[in-house]
Structure 1
Amino acid sequence: MDACKWNGEATFLIPSGTYMIYGANFNGPCKGSLIVKIQGVIKASTNPKIYCKGSWISFEYLNNLEIEGGGTLDGQGASAWGQSQCATRPYTIGLSSIQNAIVHDIHSINSKMFHFNVFNCNNVTFSHVNIIAPSDSPNTDGIHIGLSSNIRVFDSNIGTGDDCISIFAGSQNVNISGVTCGPGHGISIGSLGNKSNEVVKDVHVKNCTLIATQNGMRIKTWASSNVGEATSIYFEDIIMDKVNNPIIIDQHYCPSHTCSYQKSLVQIKDVTFNNIRGTSNSLEAVYFNCSSSLPCQNINLNDIKLITDNKAKPTIASCANAIGHATGIELPPSCLKPALES
């Protein structure tokens, strides 16, 4: 790529208009920084055989990358959601082994799988990103983060058929703020425990709104898991609007319903839910289903106010193997077990 050969700030421009791109791979290292300015609409092929793995558009081994321009990435995912010709569908944009990147003022619609996949990256910021896919589109996570550090997602709108943001193993120092999520499965950590020593730590989610999502703030580990840890997690100042499961820790996660339900070996600890308010579609607004072999430790609830539209039936909390404490407003009343009684 000629832009990569420039020893300075190079710009790769996609001007206004509509373009079909079958696939693009931007591989570094480059001599200088790279700006990808997308002003038009880019469409993926509807031939599902073309994309059976990887990413539709990928960026790898780059330092100082910026993707912006106000344009649209159209994955035309409906052509692939119901087909079984590929074991894995492609991500719209894959960021792999990137140091220092900014993605802003970009629209992504109808991805075939994840909209953005962030893997083995450091210091990546998303802001003013709009992500859209139907609520029934499979595995169309908005931003999927794995094995990455210092990731920020600010002031964005994400509505998909899966997690708006998913934070997977090996990720740390993740900050999310000003995100509106819905439809989708919420903002999730995990699932963890599929492989050994999977760790997520130092995650801060603040000032977000979830609208009619399946889950709100969720931590999940596999029903039968390997050793791992999720720690130093903070959910603060969150508004729930008709969310099915506003606050949930599930250490028996098994979407296929064919798991062997052994005790999870992922330790969840030091998790805070502060100032979470709004409406729950279910009476069970707080659900902690932790491991009996490694109970959740130091779970903190402060100023929780979750109600239903049915004022005659107050919300409830359900706890299994969850140790912690609650302060301030308790609606529903906390079911956490104090540490002294453990």
Structure 2
Amino acid sequence: LTKTKSGATIEFTGTTTFGTKTWEGPLVLLSGSDLTVKGFGTLDGQGAWYWKQGTSISRPVFFRLHAVTSSTLSGFTLKNSPFRTFSILNSEKTTISGLTLDSSAGDGTAKNTDGFDLSRNDGVTITGNKIYNQDDCLAMQSSTNTVFSNNYCSGGHGISIGSLGGDSVTSSDTVSGLTVTGNSIVSSVNGIRIKTIIGLQGLVSNVKYSNNKLSNVENAIVLHSDYSKSKGGYTGSPTSEVTIEDITVSGLSGTATNLYDIVVNSKVVSGWTFSGITVSASSKGSCSGQPSSITC
């Protein structure tokens, strides 16, 4: 769908089942402006064929938006994603609403089934969707002026910024102007999370989390400056130089095992405000490096 005329309408009906092979995809590639993509159809990526083979094979991205402008996507279902479900790149002023992303059949076997991955976009709104997966519900690699609202996230790793960081501060390593509001995060490893890469630079700025609800979440609020891509996890040494500033968390409610999991570089954090947090947690968790305004 890369040669779609401006103003076109694309409608998904019935069930479309994709074939299987080891490649990077995407299964669907969309580009264009003023597009309306809608319908009540189902796209089936046959994820089970990939899940059972693990992460060593090439797996296709399911649905990629590249250079999509002033468009809307609504109504349809994507199920059994082989790998990342939505990859949204270099797009702007576009809204995704009322979709169902359902890879719940992969619980226990599927890996890297992110809901929405965003890089180098401006003005993307993702609202009122249902996401059942085994990785990040939202993964912000970079983008500006993004809204993620009133979504239902189940079974994965929560709403994430990162992992983020580069050799210098560029648009590819910047998340600014993100609003995360009114979402439900259920049976997930994390609620809200920011993770930045050791030794690298970047910017996370002007991020507002408001009135999100957690249920059966392991870690409610997670901020880490010690992520290692090569190790695929936290190192315990927060040497990331990615600035994390002007972060607001308000009205966070629900249930979690740990309230806080914060390990950040005190030299690059400022302007955090936490208020109205009523999460019922078994443990308060732990914090280190946070601004003095934050008490854990």
Question: Scaled by the length of structure 1, what TM-score is found?
Answer: 0.79
CA distance in 2, matches of 1:196, 1:87: 31
Query: Structure 2 stretches of 5 or more lacking a match?
Result: none
Q: Is the 8 A contact 2:29 2:65 kept in 1?
A: yes
Q: Is the 8 A contact 2:54 2:111 kept in 1?
A: no
Q: Deviations over 1:169-195 (max 9, x none)?
A: 2x0101111111111110111110145
Counterpart position of 1:167: 140
Q: Secondary structure, in 3 states, of the residue corresponding to 2:226? A: strand
Q: Secondary structure, in 3 states, of the residue corresponding to 1:78? A: helix
Q: Is the 8 A contact 2:241 2:268 kept in 1?
A: no
Moved more, 209-218 or 130-139: 130-139
CA distance in 2, matches of 1:128, 1:143: 14
The sequence identity of aligned pairs, in percent, is 25
Which amino acid counterpart does residue 288 of structure 2 have in structure 1? A
Q: Is the 8 A contact 1:167 1:190 kept in 2?
A: yes
Gap change, CA 1:69 and 1:237, over 3 Å in 2 = same
> When the two structures are aligned, how many residues end up with a matched partner?
288
Q: Is the 8 A contact 1:38 1:70 kept in 2?
A: yes
**Partner of residue 250 from structure 1, selected from 224, 228, 234:** 224
Query: Structure 1 stretches of 5 or more lacking a match?
Result: 1-25, 309-313, 327-333, 336-342
Q: Is the 8 A contact 2:27 2:61 kept in 1?
A: yes
**Partner of residue 91 from structure 1, selected from 61, 86, 89:** 61
CA distance in 1, matches of 2:232, 2:183: 34
* 1:262, distance to aligned residue in structure 2 (A): 6.7
**Which is greater in Rg?**
1
Q: Secondary structure, in 3 states, of the residue corresponding to 1:80? A: helix
* 1:34, distance to aligned residue in structure 2 (A): 1.6
Q: Secondary structure, in 3 states, of the residue corresponding to 2:251? A: strand
Q: Is the 8 A contact 2:242 2:268 kept in 1?
A: no
- Paired residues for 1:31-50 under 5 Å: 32-46=6-20, 48-49=21-22
* Larger RCO of the pair (alpha carbons < 8 Å, separation 6+): 2
**Higher fraction of strand:** 1
Q: Secondary structure, in 3 states, of the residue corresponding to 2:188? A: coil
CA distance in 1, matches of 2:12, 2:124: 22
Counterpart position of 1:5: none
Gap change, CA 1:151 and 1:323, over 3 Å in 2 = same
Q: Deviations over 1:232-289 (max 9, x none)?
A: 0010001111100111101112366378757111010110110111111x2x311221
Whether 1:55 aligns to 2:1 is no
* 1:87, distance to aligned residue in structure 2 (A): 5.2
Which amino acid counterpart does residue 131 of structure 1 have in structure 2? L
CA distance in 1, matches of 2:27, 2:214: 34
